Amino acid sequence: MPERRQSKIRVLLCDDHAVVREGTRRLLEEEPDIEVVGEASDGLEAVEMARGLSPDVVAMDISMPRMNGIEATRQIKSENPSIKVLALTAYDDFAYVAGLLESGASGYILKSARGDQLVTAIRATAGGDSVLDQNVAREVFSRLARRGAADEASPASDLQGGKEPAKPPVSQKVEWEALTAKETEVLKLAAKGLSNKQIASDMGVSPRTVQTHLASIFSKLGVASRTEAVVTALKLGILCEDDVGGSSSDS
């Protein structure tokens, strides 16, 4: 019986520096499970290429001409929610990262990261996992929870720290299907940074069951990653600050 080939992770690179794109392309194309399908030099081009190529993951620089990476991410996710975005940024403070997460990014990686860390982050992003520093993530999620429904329709300028133009949060009015009690429990544990294996252990189920719950959560909320699911659930009031207020785990 012939062995079934696993499809490669299709990546779109977005950076305004040609030498950075070339180096990143060479790095990624050394990996047998990753294929670079295109390169964009600014935010507008990133949106156009994502529309035409439908990559699995967009590796998105934040500071780019014509359109910054946050707005480009917002437009890409609006047009095709299944595309996952990994932001490449020089900032890791919670105020800045909030703008990334509200735009729909699955996570971020610092530009100072090693090549192998970028490869790992792209694989994790493609799989729907969060790529976030958990301490920063807890700060961001708690801030979003405190904002709550009271200012759901107001711009996120206080969260973007003035580093990027203020824009309305994504998915302000989103149609979604109610989560089951088990799905809500999985989402609460995911919001605290627990891995699938840790969630499975905590709930007394198998990791495959956790994966099934997460897939259902993503489908019901119209998202493509754990990070998006948590951000959307906070905006919808499914989760509150107590659900994301931290965990003793370092996961």
CATH number of the CATH domain containing 129: 3.40.50.2300
Token readout for 167 is 């824009």
Predicted local confidence at residue 94, as pLDDT: 67
Across the chain, mean pLDDT equals: 82
- Asked if residue 108 is part of any domain, the answer here is yes
- Asked if residue 185 is part of any domain, the answer here is no
Which residues neighbour 10 within 8 Å (Cβ) at sequence distance 6 or greater?
Answer: 35, 37, 53, 54, 55, 56, 57
**Pairing verdict, β 107-110 and 9-14:** unpaired
Predicted local confidence at residue 60, as pLDDT: 93
SS3 sequence of 9-72: EEEEEECCCHHHHHHHHHHHHCCCCEEEEEEECCHHHHHHHHHHHCCCEEEEECCCCCCCHHHH
- Asked if residue 156 is part of any domain, the answer here is no
- Asked if residue 44 is part of any domain, the answer here is yes
Which of the four pLDDT bands, split at 50, 70 and 90, describes residue 212? very high
- Asked if residue 87 is part of any domain, the answer here is yes
Predicted local confidence at residue 95, as pLDDT: 67
Q: How many domains are contained in the chain?
A: 1
Structural contact between residues 13 and 24, judged by C-beta atoms closer than 8 angstroms = yes
- Asked if residue 243 is part of any domain, the answer here is no
In the predicted model, is pLDDT for residue 214 greater than 60?
yes
Predicted local confidence at residue 148, as pLDDT: 59
- Asked if residue 72 is part of any domain, the answer here is yes
Which of the four pLDDT bands, split at 50, 70 and 90, describes residue 131? confident
Per-residue pLDDT of 49-101, as tens digits, reads 999 999 999 999 988 888 989 999 999 999 999 999 999 888 776 667 788 88
Residue ranges making up the domain that contains 102: 9-136
Per DSSP, the three-state class of 210 is: helix
Alpha-carbon span 122 to 117, nearest angstrom: 9
